[in-house]
Structure 1
Amino acid sequence: MSSGALEDSVPPRPVAAAETDDGDRFAAHLARSLAPLRVRPLGDGTFHSSVRSAAAGEVQVSVVSGSPCVLTRGPELIDPGDPAFLAVALLREGRAGVTQDGRHCLLGPGDLVNHVTSRPYEVTFWEPYEAVVVTVPVAALGSHADALSGRTAVAVGTDCGPRDVVGVLFEGLAAKVDACTLGAASRSKEYLADAIVSLVIAELVDIAPQSAGDDLADRVLAHCLASLSDPGLTVESVARAHGVSVRYLHKVLAPTGSTLSAWIRRQRLERVCRDLVDESLHGRTAAAIAARWGVTDTEHLSRALKAEFGMTAGEIRRSGRWERGGPRPLHA
């Protein structure tokens, strides 16, 4: 169905929307739109969040955005009597990690991932983010319920191949949430819900489980993102933390075409740049900001920023803006 047809056949209805500056209020809004979750803000800046959602039949579409945070659905929040939902998320901005069923994956802009609400999971957003989340009752998945529910925490790209259709659909649904045109009192919403469920099944049911090496690579990068502020973060410390040798760690990450130390360095410098242009942090020196991200060699800070991004710390701060064109993966 084209977007024009959807607009013609589905009259607008109010959309649940909320913007908050408090983690507890954000959790309350998430409980109404997605599932009960605990929210732990990351960083020491001002916390912002937004949830916009609408429904088409039993399918819920939400656009969630905000400051870096950790969303956790622990066993204490799960009622065995509650209906189970499959949540499929498209990350539009930022970088995130998802953990469920013993697996962990990393997501960048354009990646899809699914998890189920009936089992514990955790989502970490290390930087400002926006995601489109579509929740579907597991009961509506029919014979594919077990297959989809068993392929949680596996990142799926939408930049090529047939899954590009899913990415386009999710982007379109996000626009309809903003335009208040998803819900309706007619049968159109039932057709739309069926179409969404069918497409999710068709494009995600054949996802192959991650290999042990892929999962270790994702866990390593997630560990590094969570530990960037630690000046002691090194390839050796990462290898020890994961019980592997440095040689094996290099082997696991070899397909990326870069080194872990270079990736850590760039991640730190990107966050230094982001904080340098943050108006709420203008009272801090460049050295203090760099130390916040584990960069202790401040004597060479501007030189490193110049080499990586073409501007010194002072030039970045005076510009008042910095765009990196999206987070780069390890192989970039």
Structure 2
Amino acid sequence: MVVSRATALPARHLTAAAEVDDRDGFASLLGSTFAPVRVRPLADGTFRSSLRSAAAGEVRVSAMSGSPCVVTRDADLIRASDPGFLTVALHRAGRAAVAQDGRHCLVGPGDLVNYVTSRPYELTFWEPYETVVITVPLAALGSHADTLAGRTAIAVATDSGPRDVVGTLFEGLAAKIGDCTAGEANCSKEYLADAIVSLVLAELVDIPPLGAGEDLADRMLAHCLSHLSDPRLTVESVARAHGVSVRYLHKVLAPRAITLSAWIRRQRLERICRDLADESLSGRTVSAIAARWGMTDAGHLSRALKSEFGVTATEIRRSGRWERGGPRPAAGLATA
């Protein structure tokens, strides 16, 4: 694991862009932009990440993308002198999880989630991802700071109502980072910073608390995504790991229209397809790639791919292309 000890950049109107192809560089980039973190790649093959970032006043706007990885800010990386920031992220692509303060939420494209840098957190990007991040000093949030800092790791959809407007703004800021924030300091950028803070407050102050079932569902799905490589992962093993019966597990997941065994199967097949299309893994056999994701029966894999996506492993390797999806939409988070 790599730790960056750089401090967050204080410059009022700094604009920066960088692409890195190793975890060392990415950890350093995140550390210098947000806060010191540890980075652990999740996928085999080439590791790539990029970040575009700029500041207007005390607000920072960043657009991130990259390979699957885990970004962790542990307690030993947090110092009393570190400034505290509220980080609000709009997830644009891929599936991920945010864990902080004992909560663990799953996010898909179109979801907003927030966390604070003054307490430990963990971001898990299971797939290649894109996200837009707005960082605001907790001190700039006034009386709302404690409220927002207490509503971390709760995913909020932006597909309807006022939150759709906020999501659109985040997208626009990401597309125009340089235009919106570069240049000499002036009042317009201070007004922009104030407007972003106001929208963050409008978006997040009324987030309802997670119900016990919702939090447990997220924990169970996150557990599955973290253990896809284990062929012993089953509905029964997930229930045991969370101290519930199989019947109660199905009850918790029912509102998301998820049949867990089918969901696990599809998650594995999607990752196998992604790796089969990765040129950097062309030297690995199909069986080795399948085993990497917990499927040890090559004959079953062939039938499963044909049934789920209508293609074979050979066809995916020959084309060198794979886009997540297929004839059967996955349920719950997998439809994101």
Q: TM-score range by the shorter chain?
A: over 0.9
* Partner of residue 129, structure 2: 129
1:42 matched residue in structure 2: 42
Secondary structure of 1:31 counterpart: helix
Unaligned runs of 5+ in 2: 1-12
TM-score by length of 2: 0.91
Whether contact under 8 Å (1:263, 1:330) holds in the other structure is: no
- Write out aligned runs for 1:162-201 (5 A): 162-177=162-177, 179-184=178-183, 185-201=185-201
Shift of 1:80: 1.6
Aligned equivalents of 1:81, 1:329: Cα separation in 2: 44
In structure 1, distance between residues paired with 2:267 and 2:87: 29
Report if aligned partners of 1:97, 1:107 keep a CA contact under 8 Å in 2.
yes
Work out the percentage of aligned pairs sharing the same amino acid. 75
Query: Are residue 222 (structure 1) and residue 222 (structure 2) matched?
Result: yes
Structure 1 residue 280 corresponds to structure 2 residue 244: no
**Residue matched to 2:298:** 298
- How far 1:325 sits from its partner (Å)? 4.7
Cα distance, 1:169 vs structure 2: 0.7
Report the Cα distance in structure 2 between the residues aligned to 1:224 and 1:241, rounded to whole angstroms.
10
Q: Is the 8 A contact 1:89 1:133 kept in 2?
A: yes
How far 1:297 sits from its partner (Å)? 2.0
**1:71 CA displacement:** 0.6
| Structure 2 CA distance for aligned equivalents of residues 169 and 17 of structure 1 | 20
Measured in 1, the distance between the counterparts of 2:136 and 2:113 equals: 14
Residue 117 of structure 1: CA displacement? 0.7
Kindly provide the amino acid, as one letter, of the partner of residue 60 in structure 1: R
Q: By how many angstroms is 1:263 displaced?
A: 0.3
Normalising by structure 1, we get a TM-score of 0.92
Equivalent residues of 1:26, 1:49 under 8 A apart: yes
* SS of equivalent to 2:173: helix
Q: Distance in 2 between matches of 1:212 and 1:258?
A: 17
Distance of 2:37 and 2:173 partners within structure 1: 23
What does 1:1-332 align with in structure 2 at a 5 Å threshold?
A: 15-177=15-177, 179-184=178-183, 185-325=185-325, 328-330=330-332, 332=335
For residues 159-213 of structure 1, the C-alpha deviation after alignment (integer angstroms, 9 at most, x for no partner) is 1121011110110110112x44423421111000000000110111100111111
Q: Give the conservation status (yes or no) of the 8 Å contact 1:14–1:180.
A: no
Q: For 1:310 and 1:38, how far apart are their aligned partners in 2?
A: 39
**1:111-135 deviations in whole A, cap 9, x for unaligned?**
1100011111110111111111100
Cα pair distance change 1:162/1:207, threshold 3 Å: same
Q: CA RMSD in A?
A: 1.6
The answer to whether the Cα contact below 8 Å between 1:93 and 1:131 also exists between their aligned partners in 2 is yes
Partner of 1:3: none
